[in-house]
Amino acid sequence: MATILVVKTSSLGDVVHQMPAMTEARRNLPDARLVWVVEEAFAPLARLHPSVDEVVPVATRRWRGNLFSPATWDEVRAFKAKLRGIASETVVDTQGLIRSALISRAANGRRHGYDSASIREKVASLFYDVRHHVSRAMHAVMRNRALMGLSLGYSLEDNGLDYGLVRPPVDAAARYAVLLHGTSRATKEWRESEWIGLGKWLHQQGLEVVLPWGNERERLRCQRLAGGIPGSRILERQPLDVTAKVIANASLVVGVDTGLLHLAAAYSVPLVAIFLATDPGLTGPLGSGPIIVLGGQGTSPAFADAIRAVEEKGLLSGGEA
């Protein structure tokens, strides 16, 4: 049985974008053993994918902040020993960064990755044994799928995206909307007044508004939003696999450009994506459920635009985009 080691470490959205490629690899190579190297924070999410036989956590983000600690280098040596102990025949680096290329170089097997014209950090391509050309104009999901297919020797089929995630049982009595207000850059954040305006309308539609957070800044924002949205609930900080279940069972998810947005798309939850500073054509949500994308680079949609779109598409009444 061939063992295939896949390197896609971060970020959250990138990890979700890798999932359809894992589904296709399993479909085309049913007897292969699929091992996924992923950043430790996202390991619970990778383990949700039924096609993945083993998840190997890596801690490059934490290590960078503790380079002079002996414990850090003990962990690095243990991680490299773990990789060497995996009898992988093929390594596919779909991350395409120098740090991910170094990880692939430390593993056993023939190493595949993007060529220098297809990769953001061109030096990374020097670490691969086989280099593949994949257009940078493609959506991130499609780039992952294309590289996996080229590396593993199968052709992609146009049969829709399958993220492989199993949706947990739905509590029909619990109707709620999740507002994903947190994101990695201030330029991608929606104004709090827009969130409150939308949240008030959702409350009037009979939905509880759920507010997740991931850091102290987002927690404080949650408190302000909750103060303006009647009956809203601040979600306790919890592991990603637990948060995934909350998102999977939502009646509606509204979010800015953030990793959890793509998780909602993966679960086919009715979704409204608000883009203000990035191009949704390259990294926007893709999925089989109803998806509305508002805005784009340099735009600023209002909450009234989101309400109008939800009503027009019937997202709260089972309509489809």
pLDDT tens-place string over residues 237-267: 999 999 999 999 999 999 999 999 999 999 9
Using pLDDT thresholds of 50, 70 and 90, give the confidence band for residue 91: very high
pLDDT of residue 282: 87
pLDDT, tens digit (0-9, with 9 covering 90-100), for 94-137: 999 999 999 999 999 999 999 999 999 999 999 999 999 999 99
8 Å CB contact between 209 and 233: yes
pLDDT of residue 158: 84
CA dihedral 313, 316, 318, 321 (to 10 degrees): 30
**Collapsing DSSP states into helix, strand and coil, what is residue 96?**
coil
* CA dist., res. 166 & res. 175, Å (int): 20
Instruction: Kindly tell me if the per-residue pLDDT of 318 is higher than 90.
Output: no
**Collapsing DSSP states into helix, strand and coil, what is residue 43?**
helix
Element (H or E) spanning 309, and its range? helix 303-313
pTM: 0.94
Using pLDDT thresholds of 50, 70 and 90, give the confidence band for residue 319: low
pLDDT of residue 233: 97
Higher pLDDT pick, 130 / 279: 130
Give the other-Cβ count within 10 Å of 36's Cβ.
Answer: 26
Give the other-Cβ count within 10 Å of 206's Cβ.
Answer: 11
pLDDT of residue 170: 76
202: tokens are: 């959702």
Residue type, 255: G
- Comparing C-alpha atoms, which of 271, 239, 236, 237 is closest to residue 256? 271
Give the other-Cβ count within 10 Å of 188's Cβ.
Answer: 16
Question: Cβ-count burial of 227 within 10 angstroms (0-12 exposed, 13-18 middle, 19+ buried)?
Answer: exposed
Across the chain, mean pLDDT equals: 95
258: tokens are: 């953030």
Using pLDDT thresholds of 50, 70 and 90, give the confidence band for residue 320: very low
pLDDT, tens digit (0-9, with 9 covering 90-100), for 160-170: 899 999 988 87
pLDDT of residue 321: 38
Instruction: Kindly tell me if the per-residue pLDDT of 138 is higher than 60.
Output: yes
* CA dist., res. 172 & res. 169, Å (int): 9
